[in-house]
Amino acid sequence: MEITKHLLMNLSLLLVLLFFTQLIIERQVNEEKREIYQLFYFIISIFTCYIFSVQVQDGIHFDLRQVPMILGGLYTGYSFLLAGLTLLMRAFLGINDGFWVSVGVFSGLAILLKWIHPWFNRLTLNSRVGVSVLLTVITSFLLMQMVAIVNEPISHPEAWISFILIPALTSGLVSYSIETIRQTFIIRQRLAKADKIEAVSHLSASISHEIRNPLTTVKGFLQLLGEKDYPEDKKKEFIDIAVQELKRAEEVINDYLTFARPAFEKEENIEVEKELNHVLNVLSPLANLNGVKITKKFSPGLFISGDRSKFKQGFINLMKNGLEAMPNGGELIIQTFLTGSVVHILVRDTGIGMNEEQIARLGEPYYTTKGKQGTGLGMMVTFSIIHAMRGKVEVKSQIGMGTTFHIRFTKTL
């Protein structure tokens, strides 16, 4: 059973190495780097098999070196490189009958693998696994026969069974794992592409909807001005409304541009208390209209780095949402404090609140909790601005109890 134990140890190590290699490959976007890491896996696997080889008789060592050699040649095409490394490592165990058997078998195998590599890549998943297993079985059988010719026949039944079945099993498991990893990666790429296409379609629909409304209004008033001879005051009223609608369309476009390019042209020190007071002054008429009490709890002397106008824009959107969540009155609490080098900004409302699903989707493009009255642009832009300023957002909410936004920024000196 000693031979079987060592070969099963080889099998386990090859699978463990494949798992860790996959963790590394998952982080690589460049296809060339993915191929390089895959080649390294086969090289390290050959080296590992030699470390845990077992001597069957004088000059004859058993391990699973043929498995990474075959699979590496089939999947990467570097059969001569892998064969050379295999023979080089075998030479360290001694230049004897076993070494010359390896030279003969692996040299011929390298030529065969190089020749069938393009054909192998055109096969289906199951066919590639089958070819890998078949080549492994043939190679293992040839090695046993060559040992019998140049040395003495191996009489242990365990050696024959283990050296034929375990390499075939290993080749099948590793090959199937590689194919599964490949298919998973392809599926993820397709899903990412589908998500991008869906995002573009949503963006197109949202832009057309938001821009069409004010443009339709402008078009209507221009047609009215051309059809009848209205009094001057009426014409002025039509023109004012048309200008306002065009400004609204411009604001929508600016929101999209902010989301698409949240990076700032310039960075400056922002006094948090001063800018938040400015935001509250802008929103105080809406708060009075909704009967909302505003409570401020500011720690003075807090500064962060970013774009002042974008900062105000983000918090106007955030606090406006809080006010609109309290149509029947309530309290909006704005609090700032410092812990270490982190500036904390809390925005609490006592409004309608959100469930877990709504919280999870908050900030997604085109998602809104306001129904037909909202477009989702406000929170989308706010999240983009905060992230561009290297800030973090945490949201806690409860239906009927209100929502708390916890924003963290790094303090500047």
Answer whether 316's CB lies under 8 Å from 347's CB.
no
Start-to-end C-alpha separation, the chain? 70
* Confidence check: pLDDT of 372 > 50: no
* Confidence check: pLDDT of 234 > 90: no
pLDDT tens column, 218-230:
888 777 777 667 7
Strand order across the 402-410 sheet: 292-297, 330-339, 342-349, 402-410, 392-398
CB atoms within 10 A of CB 387: 13
Give the pLDDT band of residue 343 (cuts 50, 70, 90). very high
Domains and CATH numbers, the chain: 2-193 (1.10.1760), 203-260 (1.10.287.130), 268-410 (3.30.565.10)
Handedness of CA 222, 224, 225, 231 (dihedral sign): negative
What the block records as the tokens of 199 is 């995002």
pLDDT tens column, 22-39:
878 777 767 778 888 888
Lowest mean pLDDT among 32-46, 136-150, 289-303: 136-150
* pLDDT (mean) for 377-389: 80
* Confidence check: pLDDT of 348 > 90: yes
Q: 17 vs 157, which has greater pLDDT?
A: 17
Give the pLDDT band of residue 233 (cuts 50, 70, 90). confident
Spatial CA neighbour of 346 closest among 285, 259, 407: 407
pLDDT tens column, 106-118:
888 899 999 998 8
What the block records as the tokens of 298 is 């500011």
Predicted confidence at residue 337, as pLDDT, reads 93
Lowest mean pLDDT among 100-109, 143-152, 338-347: 143-152
Give the pLDDT band of residue 104 (cuts 50, 70, 90). confident
* pLDDT (mean) for 96-107: 81
What average pLDDT does the structure give for the chain? Answer: 80
Give the pLDDT band of residue 345 (cuts 50, 70, 90). very high
* Confidence check: pLDDT of 148 > 50: yes
Name all contacts of 157-163 with Cβ < 8 Å and 24+ positions apart: 158/1, 158/3, 158/4, 159/3, 159/56, 159/62, 162/3, 162/4, 162/7, 162/62, 163/3, 163/7, 163/62
Answer whether 326's CB lies under 8 Å from 351's CB.
yes
* pLDDT (mean) for 161-180: 84
* pLDDT (mean) for 76-96: 84
User: What single-letter amino acid sits at 83?
Assistant: A
H or E segment and range at residue 62: strand 60-62
Give the pLDDT band of residue 165 (cuts 50, 70, 90). confident
Q: 255 vs 22, which has greater pLDDT?
A: 22
User: What single-letter amino acid sits at 205?
Assistant: A
H or E segment and range at residue 292: strand 292-297
Q: How many Cα atoms occupy the beta-carbon half-sphere of 140 within 13 Å? A: 26
Judge residue 228's burial from the number of C-beta atoms within 10 Å of its C-beta, 0-12 exposed, 13-18 middle, 19 or more buried.
Answer: exposed
State if pTM tops 0.85.
Answer: no
DSSP summary character for residue 370: S
pLDDT tens column, 67-76:
888 998 888 8
* Confidence check: pLDDT of 376 > 80: no
